[in-house]
Amino acid sequence: MVNNLASYQSFDFIFSTVVLRVSLAISMDAFTNLDAMDETTSVEVKSFFDSAPLLKDANSIIRKLTQFIDHNSSLSGIEGPRRVVCVTSGGTTVPLEQRCVRYIDNFSSGHRGATSTEYFLKAGYSVIFLYRRGTCQPYCRSLPDDLLLECFELTDDSCIKVHESHSEAVKRAISGHHAAVSGGFLLKLPFTTIFEYLQILKLTAMSMKILGPSAMFYLAAAVSDFYVPWESMAVHKIQSASGPLDMRLAQVPKMLSVLRKEWAPAAFCISFKLETDKDILLEKADKALRRYKMNAVVANELSTRKEVVILVTNSGKVSVYRENDHADVESPLIKLLVEKHSSYIKEINA
Ligand code: PMT
């Protein structure tokens, strides 16, 4: 993640309007002690939420979540009640100003989350898709980015029709999406900032608590590790006339332990570990599995993330490959996770 790259002196922040080189006044100690700081206390988490700007549409989100969970908990599914997975997708932003012009971002396209959502739905799960606005959406992967301009054409009588070359993809997208939404199996909740993401994740987790072990969390979002606390954030656009910008970023408390201990203790939890250095990837994934008591950690390397992932669980490590160059690695991955979830439910209910 971009934020992790911060450990190397100075780095490029992607701003909404410009790319600036910012020297951070963050001591190297803060980064080398990162792992030790993972033991998040409730106090740090409470202080993050207390100081976060209020979620604008919290009531409407709670209403949607309640309806979705009520509907799905009354249905039966694979070997018991219908399972519900919360898939998080895309990257969070870190605003630098309260009336935000500039923000720190990261690379995540949301492809993993969107693709996985399709495979979970296919496997009979209902999905709460918590996604970054503007990132990849379920069933839209095979459509061109500029959908309206490339997919449609005007006929002689000024009617709009789907271009022949895209008709199969558009049909698949519409029918897949329609079936999921009209059946009440897919709920989409958007976020942009780290503040929105963590507040919505908390609301989602707490509403899924009643599902017990039938609930799953699949945390594929690229979550910012560092942020500017709201109360110390500049209100207006930071002025460039005063010269180079020095900023101190606070560490975002890891929410995995709180999710596991408090928000949804019986749920089956899968977190992700992304690294660019393959020599440290598995060690870090192992650490996350133990420290946060995850049921599984999906380890992936930035450059090969669409080809192979490694599933790390208490029973060992399994490399999961896509079947061919046109296949999705998420297909075998979700199949394996569904099996592990089934064993987990049986174990809990035994
Ligand atoms: O979106 P794509 O382009 O398809 O790319 C997919 C992906 C590479 C983003 C995805 O496969 C992936 O690895 N996502 C997790 C990236 C990440 O944030 O890794 P991390 O090592 O920084 O965090 C590990 C876990 O801790 C994550 O599950 C994250 O949800 C969680 N976390 C992170 C920071 C934080 N403050 N609290 C958290 O709970």
Ligand 1 atom with minimal separation from the 273 CA = 21
Output the six-digit token pair for 238: 């930071």
User: Would 321 be classed as within a structural domain?
Assistant: yes
Instruction: Give the per-residue pLDDT at 91.
Output: 98
Residue 37 domain-assigned (yes or no) = yes
Residue 151 maps to a domain: no
pTM summary value: 0.88
The one-letter amino acid code at 121 reads: L
Laid out side by side, the sheet with 296-301 consists of 186-191, 126-132, 84-89, 215-219, 268-275, 296-301, 308-313, 316-321
The CB density around residue 119, as the number of other CB atoms within 10 Å, is 21
- Nearest residue to 278 (alpha-carbon basis) of 256, 308, 252, 258: 308
Per the domain annotation, does 109 fall within a domain?
A: yes
Q: What is the pLDDT along the chain (350 residues), one digit of tens a residue?
A: 334 333 322 333 333 333 333 333 333 333 334 444 445 567 888 889 998 999 999 999 999 999 999 999 999 887 789 999 999 999 999 999 999 999 999 999 999 999 999 999 999 999 999 999 999 999 988 887 766 788 888 888 889 899 888 888 889 989 999 999 999 999 999 999 999 999 999 999 999 999 999 999 999 999 999 999 999 999 999 998 888 988 889 999 989 989 999 999 999 999 999 999 999 999 999 999 999 999 999 999 999 999 999 999 999 999 999 999 999 999 999 999 999 999 999 999 88
CA nearest ligand 1 atom 6, residue = 112
From 34, 47, 108, 199, mutation site for ligand 1 pocket: most ligand atoms within 8 A of C-beta:
108
Q: How many Å lie between the centroid of ligand 1 and the Cα of residue 70?
A: 29
Residue type for position 294: M
Question: In total, how many domains does the chain have?
Answer: 1
Within a domain: residue 100? yes
Residues at CB less than 6 angstroms from ligand 1? 1, 108-112, 219-223, 225, 252, 254-256, 271-274, 300, 305
Residue 157 in any domain: the answer is: no
Q: What residue owns the CA closest to ligand 1's atom 17?
A: 222
Mapped onto helix, strand or coil, the DSSP state of residue 195 is helix
Counting ligand 1 atoms within 8 A of each CB, the residue from 274, 281, 308 with the most, and so the one to mutate, is 274
φ, ψ of residue 118 in degrees (nearest 5): -60, -45
Quote the pLDDT of residue 39. 52
Q: 335 alpha carbon to ligand 1 midpoint, in Å?
A: 21
* Amino acid 47: pLDDT: 86
Please indicate, yes or no, if residue 178 is contained in any of the structural domains.
no
Within a domain: residue 282?
A: yes
Give me the CATH number covering residue 47. 3.40.50.10300
Q: CA 150 from chain center: how many Å?
A: 29
49 DSSP β-pair partners? none
Other residues' Cβ atoms within 10 Å of the Cβ of residue 309 = 24
- Domain span at residue 85? 2-135+187-349
